[in-house]
Amino acid sequence: MQKLNVALFGLGTVGSGVYHIFTQKSKLLAERSGTCVQLVKVLDRSPQKKGKPRVPKRMLAKSPKEILNDRNIQCVIELIGGTTQARQLVKQALNAGKDVITANKALLAEHGEELFRIAKQHGRHIFFEASVAGGVPIIKNVSESLIANRIDTVYGILNGTSNYILSKMSRQGMSFRAALKLAQEKGYAENDPTLDIDGTDAAHKLAILASLVYGKQVPFKNLVYSGINHVSESDIAFADLLGYRIKLLAVAKKVGSSVEARVEPTLLPKDHILASVNGAFNAVYLRGDEIGDMLFYGRGAGSKPTASAVISDVVDWGKCYSGQRSWLPMPSSQKIKVSPISAHQARFYLRFNVTDKPGVLSKIAGVFGKYNVSISDLTQRERQSAPVPLIFLTHHVNETSVLKAVDQISRFKVVRGKPQILRLEE
Amino acid sequence: MQKLNVALFGLGTVGSGVYHIFTQKSKLLAERSGTCVQLVKVLDRSPQKKGKPRVPKRMLAKSPKEILNDRNIQCVIELIGGTTQARQLVKQALNAGKDVITANKALLAEHGEELFRIAKQHGRHIFFEASVAGGVPIIKNVSESLIANRIDTVYGILNGTSNYILSKMSRQGMSFRAALKLAQEKGYAENDPTLDIDGTDAAHKLAILASLVYGKQVPFKNLVYSGINHVSESDIAFADLLGYRIKLLAVAKKVGSSVEARVEPTLLPKDHILASVNGAFNAVYLRGDEIGDMLFYGRGAGSKPTASAVISDVVDWGKCYSGQRSWLPMPSSQKIKVSPISAHQARFYLRFNVTDKPGVLSKIAGVFGKYNVSISDLTQRERQSAPVPLIFLTHHVNETSVLKAVDQISRFKVVRGKPQILRLEE
């Protein structure tokens, strides 16, 4: 059996998991795959740090160059994260004629075009199973198992931190703040949780996934996204009352020759299977013209689950490199049009906190009428303290009209604070 | 691009779907896969029958021999179902040096050992993605994407007909009879639904899936299985009251060096994601040592979804045959020990219909005590008409003890009808 050599950049959470699988399962992997891929070098800023695996001295590289210049290493695994040093490293590796395996969604979403171009120039390849939904093998399923399908719609719960917080708020009535604190204590959220909470991380993953599904680039910079920080406990309670759960949902839909793509907190009917995805789990729901509706569900982060996806890439890379498999085509560099938000027809959940009810309702209704925003449900619950929340669910309506109507209503004196606008999917 | 030729046996539901994909998407498939597999011959008993695709005359074979003797055909797709003619055909095809793609779970579960042996003798291969969970690509995921994992536990909802019926009973309060009738009207159940309803079909699929997961044969004949025909509306209602849903669950668990494997109606907590698998859908839930918990969900039957899985096999076969992929190893012929039912520790739902309550409860409790069957929940609801159902949930207890206790209790004069015993999973 031909022996292939890879090097690992980064011994953080995922890197440690990858290192452990290499040390504990190399025999099993060789038996199962018929290839022998060895981890020969590891580079990490602080490999002696407590909790990191004990890497034998001979395997520890002292500099990136030691790996990049080593002609016996055919592939590097980039698990350092971020977009500055990682981008540099991946470029250098490709330029040095090495293939790359990465779990770095920010890097691929923001610089994928450049990196795939460089890879093509050198006839090299980038593997990225672990970059979307962690351990869930969605990249390979879309590329191979669903090959007979044209996929038109993708729904994803792609950020475990946000989903953990929303689940705690929904199931245990926690506040956003308390749930975030718990997520940090449990290791589901970073000290600085911004990229998770504000929707950026999920949008990175959606850009990668949608580009693969539609066979053309869905540029990250064209995505509309927002996070869960503006979802209140009362929104979650009202959604529950109306038969819905709020999830940070990544959505991509093919509409004609363009794509509608966004990430935002969204109401889903309780009996939809995505509404049952709780805690730090991820899920991808998609619709193919042959297969119909499908769901993939699993751990979207964490050391071992993400390492499981990285290792499946290592094995596939080894098969490709040794001629036991043909390389998959690299993503197309063509771009697909992402349709403007105003083109969307959708259903919405609207909350206004108002002080003086009787007169207000007819005024608000009048504005909705003026903008052709048709209402399907109206809920008002007496509260001990003013202001009183007024909740509207709309029928399918034009998004621009809703925004205009809400803007006008928000200027009424009796409306307190910022109105809430959330999308509703069925 | 090398052109490869396949033939199709059977233009039934799935065969028609496969035929349509070949006629409508051959260009797309060639572009995506880099292989060109053509459908050149079709054999069907009554190709002129209404509703079947119109196959050009030159493609219609008049006899199996016309296909089996054609040296330009490298692979046959067997979609006639059953285990008599299909077995013969597959053996003949393998003996003639052709590879085989099949969706036939009964054939593989009951005669797989023989067929894989013949395939090995001739250096040929059998592809069977569509045999388990229809369109859900579980075979490929277990073999490839989850390669870094040792999987210890598999839960499956593998029979769409049963799941449709149980969902209708649970969500709409239908009787078994009414739900079955509706399933037949909708085309989810055959005129003779025996194999679906009595658990045989799900057990066939479990035997195939468990064999793959554990890398050794889990023989179908060693599986314990039962169906949903003895699940009553009141069981579903009581389960609901206690926080559970009843599903026809296929379970395989590695316990030491042996496997516990069975199919039976089982109580699942409502907030488990498998409890949200409704209608004719299938799902496979599994636990790997790296990936943790994962779920694959999709349509387990039907023309297009199953054809989607068959076509993914066609593409993979084409890649293997043309040297763009190495063949996956054939299943091991070694057998794994399936542990006897008496070795199982589990929780149980028990229902007794009794006429005379006061004295009875202490008598029943006495029997449970004698057999060390520890009870966690007891529910009794007043009914207008006798007998009154008494529901017990047990803690984890020995299965043999439960069976003995129930047997003794069932002999009490006040106990009417057959007691119900269902397993509970958490």
> Distance (Å, rounded) from C-alpha A292 to C-alpha B129?
17
DSSP state string for A313-379: HHHHHHHHHTTSBPPPPPPP--B-EEPPGGG-EEEEEEEEEES-HHHHHHHHHHHHHHTT--EEEEE
* pLDDT reported for residue A240: 96
φ/ψ of residue B374, rounded to 5: -90, 130
**What digits encode the pLDDT tens for the residues A242-267?**
999 999 999 999 988 999 999 999 99
φ/ψ of residue B161, rounded to 5: -60, -50
Query: Which site among A14, A144, A145 would you substitute to test the B interface, given the most B Cβ atoms closer than 10 Å to its Cβ?
Result: A145
**How would residue B383 be classed by pLDDT, with cut points 50, 70 and 90?**
low
| pTM, full prediction | 0.94
Do residues B228 and B166 touch, judged by C-beta distance below 8 A? yes
* ipTM at complex level: 0.93
> Distance (Å, rounded) from C-alpha A326 to C-alpha A315?
13
B253 catalytic? Reply is no
Distance from CA of B399 to the nearest CA of A (A): 31
Domain with CATH 3.30.360.10 in chain B: 138-299
Domain with CATH 3.30.70.260 in chain B: 341-424
Instruction: State the angle between helix axes of B160-172 and B233-241 in degrees (0 to 180), rounded to the nearest 10.
Output: 70
Residue B399 to residues A304, A317, A420, B327, B351, Cα–Cα distance (Å): 35, 47, 54, 43, 16
Query: Which site among A28, A285, A291, A321 would you substitute to test the B interface, given the most B Cβ atoms closer than 10 Å to its Cβ?
Result: A291
Q: Which CATH architecture has domain B138-299?
A: 2-Layer Sandwich (3.30)
**What digits encode the pLDDT tens for the residues B250-290?**
999 998 899 999 999 999 999 899 999 999 999 999 999 99
Tokens in use for B355? 């006429």
* pLDDT reported for residue B345: 86
Distance of CA A235 to the CA centre of its chain: 23
For B8, other C-beta atoms within 10 Å of its C-beta total: 29
* pLDDT reported for residue B93: 98
Average pLDDT value over all residues in chain B: 94
Does the CA dihedral A188-A189-A195-A198 come out positive or negative?
A: positive
Question: Who contacts B340 (Cβ-Cβ below 8 Å, separation ≥6)?
Answer: none
R_g over Cα of chain A: 24
| Residue from A262, A263, A264, A281 nearest A273 by CA | A281
CATH topology of domain A3-134+303-321: Rossmann fold (3.40.50)
Indicate which residue of B41, B98, B105, B205 is catalytic.
B205
Which residue(s) pair with A157 in the sheet?
Answer: A283
Does the CA dihedral B138-A213-A35-B328 come out positive or negative?
A: positive
Residue % of chain B over a pLDDT of 70: 99
| Minimum Cα–Cα distance from B31: chain A residue | A329
> Distance (Å, rounded) from C-alpha A161 to C-alpha A187?
9
CATH number of B341-424: 3.30.70.260
> How much is the average pLDDT of A270-299?
96
B298/A293 CB distance under 8 A: yes
Strands (E), B45-136: 75-78, 99-102, 126-127
Domain with CATH 3.40.50.720 in chain A: 3-134+303-321
- CB neighbour class for B230 (10 Å; exposed up to 12, middle 13-18, buried from 19): middle
Residues in A closer than 8 angstroms to B137, CB to CB, are: 141, 145-146
The highest-level CATH class for domain A344-424 is alpha beta
* pLDDT reported for residue A333: 87
Instruction: State the angle between helix axes of B105-121 and B200-214 in degrees (0 to 180), rounded to the nearest 10.
Output: 40
**What digits encode the pLDDT tens for the residues A299-344?**
999 999 999 999 999 999 999 999 999 898 888 889 999 987 666 7
* pLDDT reported for residue A342: 66
B291/A273 CB distance under 8 A: no
Q: Poorest-confidence range of A47-51, B57-61, B212-216, B377-381?
A: B377-381
**How would residue B89 be classed by pLDDT, with cut points 50, 70 and 90?**
very high
Question: Who contacts B247 (Cβ-Cβ below 8 Å, separation ≥6)?
Answer: B157, B163, B166, B265, B266, B268, B274, B275, B277
Indicate which residue of A41, A205, A247, A319 is catalytic.
A205
* pLDDT reported for residue A341: 67
Q: Which CATH architecture has domain A138-301?
A: 2-Layer Sandwich (3.30)
> How much is the average pLDDT of A219-230?
95
Asked if residue B357 has pLDDT above 80, the reply is no
Do residues A294 and B306 touch, judged by C-beta distance below 8 A? no
Residue % of chain A over a pLDDT of 70: 99
